[in-house]
Structure 1
Amino acid sequence: MESVPVRCPVCNRDHAYSTPAYPCPCGMPTTPPLLRDAPAVRVGHRSWNDVWVTVRCSSCAREDQWPQPELCCPCGTVLRIPVRPVAAAPSPTSPVSPAHIPLPRTAAHPRPTFRPMTIRTGHDAVIAAGLYLTWLGYRDVGRPGAGPASGIDLRGDGVIAQVDSSTRPATLRAVETLWLNALGTSAAGVFFSLAGYAADARARADGVGLPLFVIDLTGTPQPVNSPADELVSTGA
């Protein structure tokens, strides 16, 4: 784990900051590369885009967006730790891949046909998503004991899920919030939506390996990105 000295510019207190590691979809732990000689920056105004940095996995060279390293000084100052920027990949002539190529269904243990339920209300959508997670192989799937918290509508053994039953496409922030909740609880995150996803939400989900599903009014979830196809193929 990489550690750098950090001095608060407000109270001049010295700290040793250790970079947290995040799991790359390839399975290797990934850490944002810190700039040792650059001073920490006081955070005065925060925007949603400011809390993300691009990090390249040292094992598979995959580039993903990870939380910007920050440290909260006891004096109350929030400090942003500078990160070494990722060099641009030299592949300007590389072909553009399709947004979503369905994977073949190759589950090792064939599952029975999923039996959907008709959706008439938002509550029905949550029930349908819970049935689908159980069909995928997750156990003890149900609503959190104290009701939805931080966008979590369903929780099971090793999985959390959000179900967006609104009439608008799910947003980037909703996808990122679920992903961060999944990281914080060491669980898999799965997103279900009735109205689909905004383009930037889909792009972020693809980058962090978050499965996205769209539920039609028959109650049948359909995968809309490769992580979702892989989950359907392999099961929980």
Structure 2
Amino acid sequence: MESVPVRCPVCRRDHAYITPVYPCPCGAPTAPHVQRGAPAEPITHRTWNDDWVTVRCTGCGRHDQWPHPELCCPCGTVLRIPVRPLTAHTPPPPGPSHIPLPRTASHPRPAFRPMTIRTARDAVGAAALYLSWLGYRQVVQARERPSSRIDIRAAGLVAQVDSLTTATVLRDVECLWLNALNASVAGVFFSLAGYAPDARQRADGLALPLFVMDLTGTPQPVNSPADELISTGA
């Protein structure tokens, strides 16, 4: 990506900013279009909506929400980099339908043996057991839940387990996706109470597998990316 000159309005320091590139679900590299010459604005307080920007993939035409470009100046000021808004005459294409893939694992998996869930810790253990059954290696559970809320890590994967009695909300799904994106790994979400409609819709757009678990400890897929993960395995 080409660098863009950015001046901090607080200390007047000049920077060469390069916009980070993220992979679209179609696989094409995607990045927000920075407004060259537009002044950067210091971030004095955050709102969830301001932290996201709509970006159109040049490969498939998909419109998606991506992290708004930011730059941290050595003077301590965090700057929000202006981006070019999408034009009104480029509506997003209809969302592609997901068709579960046939199982392509080299060896059929044995039947999954669940573990009964009685506590929140049991829910994490059941999810870890399920990920191992899917074929993920080096599955490790966090002893204490970190601030990132990542409960399970494995080779090429991070997972979150929501053991609350209320439906998982949109922000939780997006936070997991961002954690996975920053670590360049896949993400999987497990929930005991299901998902809010907007959370499920967002996960579909991000190709993030969602599972629900009952107290028997048996995860069930609730979207097409989860169906595909079961079919193909890790």
- TM-score normalised by L of structure 2: 0.90
Q: Which residue of 1 aligns with 2:145?
A: 148
Gaps of 5+ in 2: none
Contact 1:65–1:208 (CA<8 Å) still a contact in 2? no
Q: Specify the code of the residue in structure 1 equivalent to 2:123.
A: A
Instruction: Compute the displacement of 1:90 (Å).
Output: 5.5
Is 2:96 the counterpart of 1:107? no
* C-alpha RMSD of the superposition: 2.1
Partner residue, 1:19: 19
Tell me how far 1:103 sits from its aligned partner: 2.1
Distance 1:20 1:90, change over 3 A: closer
| 2-structure distance, mates of 1:185, 1:19 | 17
Note closer, same or farther for the CA distance 1:204–1:112 as it changes in structure 2 (3 Å cut): same
1:132 corresponds to 2:117: no
Contact 2:101 2:232 (C-alpha < 8 Å) held by counterparts: no
1:75-125 C-alpha deviation (Å, 9 max, x unpaired):
222211111122346669x87888xx6625433433222122222221211
Cα distance in 1, alignment partners of residues 2 and 206 from structure 2: 22
Shift of 1:234: 1.1
> For residue 59 of structure 2, what is the amino acid of its counterpart?
S
CA separation in 2, counterparts of 1:231 and 1:64?
Answer: 22
Letter in 2 for 1:7: R
User: Which residues of structure 1 form unaligned runs of 5+?
Assistant: none
Name the structure 2 match of 1:80.
80
**Aligned 8 A contact 2:95 2:205 in 1:** no
Aligned to 1:60: 60
**Deviation of the 1:148 alpha carbon:** 2.4
Larger displacement relative to structure 2 (191-200 or 79-88): 79-88
| 1:195 Cα deviation after fit | 0.3
- Give the match for residue 69 of structure 1: 69
8 Å Cα contact 2:21-2:30 kept in structure 1: yes
CA distance in 2, matches of 1:136, 1:95: 31
Partners of 2:131 and 2:86 lie apart in 1 by: 37
Q: Give the stretch that moved more between structures: 76-85 or 187-196.
A: 76-85
Residue of structure 1 equivalent to 2:195: 197
Shift in Å at residue 204 of structure 1? 2.1
Q: Which residue of 2 aligns with 1:186?
A: 184
CA contact under 8 A between 1:70 and 1:79: conserved in structure 2? yes
Aligned residues: 232
Identity across the alignment (%): 69
Letter in 1 for 2:215: L
CA distance in 2, matches of 1:114, 1:25: 29
TM-score, normalised on structure 1? 0.90
